[in-house]
Structure 1
């Protein structure tokens, strides 16, 4: 049940490239976090240069204006091994399919719990599902 936000500099990527980014994120989520393929919720945000800031060399990583900020909100419980495998696979996928430099793939995972999600109808579907599994 991840929710993904991708931010990038306006006019840096073409619609086809953004679709490839979306698919690469999904493939990596399915492989490393066992996310169902139809659990697909992503939003892409283009920013003007006056709204997009970053360190060009923090932690000795040389970033460019092709930087992608990828924020993924997801249920807690993934191991450090799963997360690091996910980061590696996603950077590799994006470098080969979209030709994005690995240095320009910035990912942050935001963990939360079942009660933090409503997929519609004013209900906490995942919380209700978890309670049903316990009984």
Structure 2
């Protein structure tokens, strides 16, 4: 649900030109970010001369009376390449369809977690089951942990991971909050139905309360990782993720596709104690096998 808000000078554009500008923005978004053409949320606001103060020349520009400021908010999974393409196409189509010069198009882009958006009916976009195959995600290669909002500095993630690696029985929650970004999304499914979807702060305590003998899957939005647990389990999310990521750190060019985990517990003095844990991960690697299964106990 990208939303454009364009600021223009009063009486600088005809009604037809404003409609053409909206069409230009819609087409640019479709081609740059592969959104459907009917995913169209565009606002154009006019400002009088004493309300619109845009420099004529900074930095090394030659702006005219048709200068515009384009603000656009979109989901935070968008890549740098997509943002560059959007800026390029907005400028190109504004020129082709409306006659606005390249120097007259200024842009601000605002990436937002998609749980901050609502199409309507009081439902968040994450709660309506809308498939968004046009959203591009970066590969989780090399075994690094990638948060839902695509942290680009993978080296920093790895260093942060190593720095805060501790026993799973020692400050599990703090480890999870440190390694992943603040706006990462935790989601879990019970019997194919979504049971948890929200921020780590809101949902992690609820997640840790699922101690029943049932099968469920969970994962971070934007990752290719799907985790399965069954039997009498009280496994916590970060235990699986941190252990598996730790073991995969030494494998080059890896994308994790599936992860099956099993952990046996017994309850002592009101606390769950691990007795046996195993995990099987399927990963794709560029060298030399396309699909490999490995198991750790």
Structure 1-normalised TM-score? 0.91
State the SS of the aligned residue for 2:43: strand
Instruction: Report what 1:122 is aligned to.
Output: 122
Instruction: Report what 1:79 is aligned to.
Output: 79
RMSD, aligned α-carbons:
1.6
Instruction: Report what 1:21 is aligned to.
Output: 21
- Provide the C-alpha distance between the structure 2 equivalents of 1:95 and 1:76, rounded to a whole number of angstroms: 28
Q: Which of 1 and 2 has greater Rg?
A: 2
For residues 22-77 of structure 1, give each alpha carbon's deviation from its aligned partner in whole angstroms, at most 9, with x where no partner exists: 00101110001111111111111010000001111111112122111111111112
For residues 1-135 of structure 1, the aligned pairs below 5 Å read 1-124=1-124, 126-128=125-127, 129=129
More strand by share: 2
Q: Which has the higher contact order (CA 8 A, sep 6+)?
A: 1
Instruction: Report what 2:221 is aligned to.
Output: none
State the SS of the aligned residue for 2:62: coil
Structure 2-normalised TM-score? 0.43
- Provide the C-alpha distance between the structure 1 equivalents of 2:105 and 2:49, rounded to a whole number of angstroms: 18
- Provide the C-alpha distance between the structure 1 equivalents of 2:4 and 2:100, rounded to a whole number of angstroms: 18
How far is the alpha carbon of 1:11 from its aligned partner? 0.3
Tell which deviates more after alignment, 79-88 or 47-56. Answer: 79-88
